[in-house]
Amino acid sequence: MKAILLRFGELYLKGNNRYIFESMLITNIKNKLEGESYKFEKTFGRYVIRDYENEREAEIVKKLKCVFGLYSISLTEEVEASAQEIEKYVSTIKVKTSNFKVVVKRADKAFPISSMDFAKKLGAIVLENNKGCEVELYNPETTINVDIRLNKKAYIFDAIEKCQGGLPLGSAGKGLLLLSGGIDSPVAGYLIAKRGLKIEALHFNSYPYTSEEAKDKVLSLAKKLCDYVDEIKLHIISFTKVQEAIHVNCRSEYMITIMRRIMMRIAEKICQQNGLGAIVTGESLGQVASQTMQSMTVTGGVVKTLPIFRPLLAMDKEEIMAIAKDIGTYQTSILPYEDCCTVFLPKNPVIKPTIERCEKEEGFLNLDSLIEEALQTEEVVVLKKD
């Protein structure tokens, strides 16, 4: 019978919490496969999916490859774990390359033949049925794997496909992704979700300085991330009044810095209102003036109760772009758009802002009421995977 064998990795490290991680992973797998018909079995160290509709196989595999916490999968033939049944199936295998190797693994040590001896025996069977084919132990073109598990089944397969890795979504808690329409922040959201952080998102727009299309773009980026995170609650806040106030009252080189500090304060409030435990940004050290060490000190400094996660901090743009392409956000991110940060963009943004100057500039603003007013403009959209 055909079966999909699923492997998970790091969960092994989790000691007594392993049970919680596993149950989250299983729930996430089942959510992802909602609407598919299949049977699920948990056996020691592996999960098995069987009894699915053949024509849905590719789609099921595609969905499983988006589940954080799964490390690899194999499309297998599942047989009873007896020498006779395994040999019977192996004798039907047609090797399509000129050489091969058989690898036997026994998670079930009660299986009466040693892995080496059994691999030799199976190799001989394959040779007999594939005239002209040779055994190649070091660099085989085809590897026939026989994995004998504790559920008294054996799984026979030739390929191991990589999945996302990471930790089950939700196992690290929940956070708020600051999502712009650029390349970086969707990648930051993906990477942090991969470490188990469930995300909501916050977008600031500057309508009418920024267009409806700029907002639609963010909606479609959030929607893309739903391939991995299933659902995103997107908070949209109008930043127009804040920006106008800064533009009128503060020195232009501090414009972006003060904007960022206000964004962070609003983000912290949204976190508090929604039970979110961290702020996530797409900042990368030194990428632009607002992402220097000094800039991050003064922008991060206003957040008092939460950590700020910057998964891209040490990445080059090239590396970030490669991930954006992999996860399918790149094409949307490069569509032309105006970000709220490009409105009133100063010619010479400060590279090494100081706390004292930030506080002085903010003294010209009515901070509390600006933040309060901005929060009043909040619009919430819940995006889901199709």
Closest residue by Cα to residue 309 from 171, 167, 163, 172: 172
Task: Rule CB under 5 A: say whether 186 interacts with Mg ion.
Answer: no
User: Which CB atom, from 3 or from 187, has the smaller least distance to Mg ion?
Assistant: 187
Do residues 335 and 344 lie in contact, with contact meaning Cβ atoms separated by under 8 Å?
A: no
Residues with Cβ < 8 Å from 256, sequence gap 6 or more? 289, 290, 341, 345, 346, 349
CB of 356 to ligand ATP, least distance (A): 23
Alpha-carbon distance 148 to 239, whole Å? 59
One of 339, 349, 357, 383 touching ligand ATP (CB under 6 A): 339
Task: Rule CB under 6 A: say whether 178 interacts with ligand ATP.
Answer: yes
User: Which CB atom, from 71 or from 207, has the smaller least distance to ligand ATP?
Assistant: 207
CB of 310 to ligand ATP, least distance (A): 9
Task: Rule CB under 6 A: say whether 200 interacts with ligand ATP.
Answer: no
Q: Binding partner of residue 185 among Mg ion, ligand ATP, none, CB under 5 to 8 Å per kind? A: ligand ATP
Task: Rule CB under 6 A: say whether 334 interacts with ligand ATP.
Answer: no
Closest residue by Cα to residue 245 from 366, 74, 65: 366
Assign 221 to helix, strand or coil. helix
How many residues of this chain interact with Mg ion, rule: CB under 5 A? 3
User: Which CB atom, from 78 or from 200, has the smaller least distance to ligand ATP?
Assistant: 200
One of 74, 171, 180, 299 touching Mg ion (CB under 5 A): 180
* Beta bridge partner(s), residue 298: none
DSSP string, 241-288: HHHHHHHHHS-GGGHHHHHHHHHHHHHHHHHHHHT---EE----TTSS
Task: Rule CB under 5 A: say whether 182 interacts with Mg ion.
Answer: yes
Prior bond to 140 cis, omega within 30?
no
One of 199, 341, 343, 383 touching ligand ATP (CB under 6 A): 341
Q: Binding partner of residue 221 among ligand ATP, Mg ion, none, CB under 5 to 8 Å per kind? A: none
Closest residue by Cα to residue 295 from 267, 329, 264, 251: 264
Task: Rule CB under 6 A: say whether 349 interacts with ligand ATP.
Answer: no
What phi-psi label fits residue 28: left (phi over 0), alpha (psi between -120 and 50 degrees) or beta? Answer: alpha
User: Which CB atom, from 13 or from 334, has the smaller least distance to ligand ATP?
Assistant: 334
One of 198, 203, 224, 235 touching ligand ATP (CB under 6 A): 203
Task: Rule CB under 6 A: say whether 183 interacts with ligand ATP.
Answer: yes
Do residues 141 and 96 lie in contact, with contact meaning Cβ atoms separated by under 8 Å?
A: no
Taking CB under 5 A as the binding criterion, the range among 72-80, 99-107, 136-144, 174-182 that sits at the site for Mg ion is: 174-182
Alpha-carbon distance 130 to 136, whole Å? 14
One of 340, 343, 358, 370 touching ligand ATP (CB under 6 A): 340
Assign 43 to helix, strand or coil. strand
Taking CB under 5 A as the binding criterion, the range among 40-48, 120-128, 231-239, 339-347 that sits at the site for Mg ion is: 339-347
User: Which CB atom, from 230 or from 339, has the smaller least distance to ligand ATP?
Assistant: 339
User: HSE-up of 178 (CA within 13 Å, CB side)?
Assistant: 25
Contact residues for ligand ATP (CB under 6 A)? 178-180, 182-185, 202-204, 281-283, 287-288, 290-291, 339-341
The binding site for Mg ion (CB under 5 A) comprises 180, 182, 339
